[in-house]
Every structure is written in structure tokens, then in C-alpha cells.
């Protein structure tokens, strides 16, 4: 009698019972939440050879995930119960084959498993990174604050020999490092369509690693990351103090670098300032290129708003409102764009005309929270120095143009850069009426459109006041 007939059972009931036991083991090790989301939908297909287990899932995405995370685990679970099993194949159920629940045993047999020894998925079926479509190189506004980081990102994304790796990007929140990371992914995939690109946050790295530990399936986790042609890890600071995660991260970095592949890591600080991160990881980061993104300048913020407005064909936001947003929201591009979106949305919802007063009223809380505390006294001192006057001249009754124009500019800046009311501003300028302040603000707004000297002076003063 052939050996296969001796080792392979003669009824499907034993296979169904084995599958039920495997499901029970998976639920205990993976936890109810992960099991219900990824493993419960697996269906057992008993139509194949007895020594080759065939498991199916309803979608290619779920199939790839289970293959990546549970292929080996499923194979070993089946082998522990049915030693004759030689392979476990994890496949996507054809659309024409609606998965049916077949009660072969008193236990449910409706969850299929991912193949451990299945054929590798085609590159087109491999997980694709979740990259933000808007975050591309051509939509990244470049100036001196981010030029080095931008050029480094483009150089690393170019196909061909890797010039340096890793690339370590650091900046404050909302200043463009995530944009550059996604742009690298987009560019590299466009140049090398079959490449395997993985993008995740450090927090996601930690979560997936812990899940793999609990499932006793770290091999699939390691293999998945180390097979990447381009690995993007955002916000490294989130694994500070997590020793086991840092251990795995260190080995992943070593494997990627040793294989000559591309690695990009970002954080909110330079490597040496990352508290709670192991020195050996910091040392690896320093081997590549470290590039920082500084706080955006006034000109960059204003240019970003212009780029944003180009995407809003139905919006009408005056230049003075855009100037005010660029001047008052200084540190975070994300907040700047959010403020513009809010002004436009409120204008469309209320039907009101968007002007400076409307924008200030709409963004009162945002402006107060983001504004550096510029005072009227600071404005008066800086304006008087710029125009070679004494601070007392600005609060005097003198009407000479050499004094009146700087006074109007100072009032304009006080309205733009402080939260003081019009009457309060008037009182700080020699007890003048609020209507005088309104006139000064409107006059400077008009002159900025027609007088390059006045506009240039205002821009210089705003840049200095914002620090």
C-alpha cells in the first residue's frame, strides 16, 4: 500500500476537526480583535489534495496580509495536528465561488488560513504603501529653510545605485517631513513600478512587532520589512524607551543598509537629541545623511498659501487676508493650511464676503494660540528705528508725512499682529479715535498694492517682528 494512503485520512471530518483546533489556537494567541478582523474570514477548502491544505479569503488585500503575517504559523499549526501535511496554500477565493459554510463537524469551519508554503504573490499583488496623493515633489514648496532636505529626498528617490542610506529628516510638527517621505515613495514607485515600498509610522512598527510577538510569528514580520526596496519610517521618537522594539528596529536597519537598499527615517529632533533611543541606533542614523527642515519663513508661508489657493478655483480670498495668515501663523504649515480652509469654508457656509475682519473673527482662537506675543510697544519701537524716528513721534500730534506714514504703518501692523481692539490701538497712539486706526489700516492696504517702497517696508518689519 502506498505510503500516502497510510498517512492521509480517508474522510474530510479529520481535516475539519484539525482546522477547528487551529482556529482555536489562533484565537488564543492573536487575541479576539486581530482574529476577528483578519483570521476569522479564512475559509477551509477541502477540494484539493489531502496533504496540501488550501485556505481562501474574500479579497486579495486580506490574502496578502495573512500570507505576510501568518503563513508559517498556519503551516506549523497544521503540521502539529496532521503530520502528513506538506503545504498550506493561502489564496483569494474566485468571485464566482461564493464561500460556503459547510458543517462537516460540530465545530464551525468557516475561516480559511494564509498559505505558509504558498507560491509568492506577484509584485502587483504585494501590499502597496498608503501614500498621500497630494504629497509629491512637484507640490513641495522649496526655499532656504528646506532646500537641503528636498534635494536629499530627490537624490535618494532616484533609481540606480544608492548614494546614501539612511536619510534622516527632522523638523517640528507640520513642517513638511512627512510630505517629503511620501514624495520619495511616489517618485521611486513611478521609476521602479515593481519595487516593494513600505511606509509606516514608528508607532505602527511597534504595534505590528508586538502583535507578531504575541502570535509567536516574528519571522513573517521580519521577512516583510527586510524585503523592502524602500522602507519609510515616520516619527522615530515614538519608540523611545521601548527596548524590545528598538532591538528589532536596530536589526531591521542593519539588514536594509547591509543589503544596499533605501531607508528613510524621520523624527521631530536630530538623532543626538532623541532621548530614550539607543546609541547604536543613533550611530546608524549618523552613517547616512541627516537633513533638517527649519521653521518656514514668511515668504515660504505666503507662497504655500498661493499654491493652496490655486487648488481652490471657487474661493476668493483677498491678498491682505493671505498676508495676515502668513504673518500670524508662523510655525506650522499644517495649521496654516487648516486656517485657510476654515476661512474659505465659513465664507461659503455663511455667504459672507471674506475680508480681514471676517478672517480675524473666524480664526480668533487659532490666531491667539499660534501668535507670538507681539506688543504695540515693540511695533512702535521697531517702526521708529526703521524710519529713523523717535518712538514719541508716533504718538505725537505731528502730521508731517515723514511721521504720519510710519504711524499709519505702525497702526496697520498693530491691527495685523496683535489682538488689541481698534480703540485700544488708538489709545496707544496718542489717544486717537478708532476711526483714525481704520483709516490708517485701509490706507496702508491700498499703498501695498501700488507703492513698492511701502510694501517692502511692511514685509521687512513683519519679518523682524515675527522673530
3-state secondary structure of 96: coil
φ, ψ for residue 52, nearest 5 deg? -125, 110
Residues composing the chain: 467
In the annotated binding site, the residues are 174, 176-178
In the annotated binding site for ATP, the residues are 174, 176-178
Are the C-beta atoms of 165 and 261 separated by less than 8 Å? yes
Query: First CA to last CA across the chain, in angstroms?
Result: 89
Cα 66 off chain centre by: 25
C-alpha dist (Å) from residue 355 to 212, 254, 305, 312, 434: 55, 55, 16, 17, 19
Pairing between strand 289-292 and 262-267?
unpaired
Give the single-character DSSP code of 127.
P
3-state secondary structure of 165: coil
Closest listed residue to residue 66, CA positions, set 21, 127, 107 = 127
Q: How many CA atoms within 13 Å lie on the side-chain side of 84?
A: 14
Q: Which helix (H) or strand (E) holds 275?
A: none
C-alpha dist (Å) from residue 162 to 26, 251, 258, 288, 388: 41, 20, 12, 11, 55
Are the C-beta atoms of 371 and 333 separated by less than 8 Å? no
Q: Which helix (H) or strand (E) holds 406?
A: helix 401-417
Are the C-beta atoms of 380 and 418 separated by less than 8 Å? no
Amino acid at each position: 500500500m502506498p505510503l500516502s494512503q497510510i498517512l492521509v485520512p480517508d474522510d474530510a471530518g479529520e481535516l475539519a476537526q484539525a482546522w477547528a483546533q487551529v482556529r482555536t489556537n489562533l484565537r488564543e494567541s492573536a487575541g479576539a480583535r486581530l482574529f476577528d478582523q483578519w483570521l476569522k474570514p479564512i475559509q477551509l477548502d477541502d477540494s484539493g489534495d489531502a496533504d496540501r491544505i488550501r485556505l481562501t479569503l474574500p479579497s486579495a488585500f486580506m490574502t496578502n496580509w495573512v500570507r505576510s503575517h501568518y503563513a508559517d504559523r498556519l503551516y506549523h499549526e497544521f503540521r502539529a495536528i496532521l503530520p502528513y501535511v506538506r503545504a498550506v496554500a493561502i489564496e483569494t477565493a474566485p468571485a464566482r465561488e461564493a464561500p460556503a459554510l459547510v458543517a462537516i463537524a460540530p465545530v464551525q469551519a468557516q475561516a480559511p488560513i494564509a498559505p505558509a508554503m504558498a507560491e509568492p504573490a506577484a509584485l502587483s499583488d504585494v501590499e502597496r504603501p498608503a501614500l498621500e496623493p497630494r504629497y509629491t515633489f512637484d507640490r513641495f514648496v522649496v526655499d532656504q529653510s528646506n532646500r537641503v532636505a528636498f534635494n536629499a529626498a530627490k537624490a535618494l528617490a532616484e533609481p540606480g545605485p544608492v548614494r546614501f542610506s539612511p536619510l534622516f529628516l527632522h523638523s517640528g510638527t507640520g513642517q513638511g517631513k512627512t510630505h517629503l517621505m511620501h514624495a520619495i515613495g511616489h517618485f521611486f514607485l513611478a521609476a521602479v513600478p515593481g519595487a516593494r515600498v513600505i511606509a509606516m509610522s514608528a508607532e505602527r512598527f511597534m504595534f505590528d512587532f508586538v502583535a507578531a510577538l504575541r502570535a509567536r510569528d516574528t519571522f513573517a514580520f521580519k521577512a516583510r520589512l527586510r524585503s523592502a526596496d524602500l522602507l519609510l519610517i515616520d516619527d522615530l521618537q515614538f519608540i523611545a524607551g521601548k527596548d524590545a522594539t528598538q532591538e528589532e528596529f536596530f536589526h531591521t536597519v542593519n539588514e536594509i543598509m547591509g543589503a544596499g537598499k533605501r531607508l528613510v527615517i524621520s523624527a521631530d529632533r536630530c538623532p543626538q537629541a532623541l532621548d530614550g533611543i539607543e546609541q547604536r541606533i543613533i550611530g546608524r542614523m549618523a552613517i547616512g545623511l541627516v537633513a533638517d527642515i527649519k521653521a518656514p519663513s514668511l515668504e515660504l508661508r505666503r507662497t504655500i498659501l498661493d499654491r493652496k489657493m490655486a487648488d481652490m478655483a471657487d474661493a476668493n480670498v483677498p491678498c491682505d487676508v493671505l498676508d495676515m495668515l502668513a504673518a500670524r501663523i508662523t510655525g506650522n504649515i499644517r495649521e496654516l493650511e487648516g486656517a485657510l480652509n476654515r476661512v474659505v469654508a465659513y465664507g461659503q457656509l455663511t455667504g459672507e464676503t471674506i475680508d480681514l475682519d471676517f478672517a480675524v473673527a473666524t480664526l480668533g482662537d487659532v490666531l491667539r494660540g499660534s501668535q507670538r506675543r507681539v506688543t504695540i510697544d515693540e511695533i512702535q519701537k521697531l517702526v521708529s528705528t526703521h524710519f529713523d524716528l523717535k518712538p514719541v513721534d508716533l504718538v505725537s500730534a505731528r502730521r508731517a508725512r515723514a511721521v504720519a506714514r510710519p504711524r499709519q504703518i505702525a497702526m496697520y501692523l498693530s491691527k495685523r499682529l496683535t489682538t488689541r481692539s481698534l480703540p485700544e490701538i488708538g489709545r496707544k497712539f496718542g489717544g486717537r479715535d478708532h476711526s483714525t486706526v481704520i483709516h490708517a489700516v485701509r490706507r496702508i492696504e491700498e499703498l501695498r498694492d501700488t507703492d513698492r517702497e511701502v510694501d517692502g517696508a511692511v514685509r521687512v518689519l513683519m519679518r523682524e517682528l515675527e522673530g
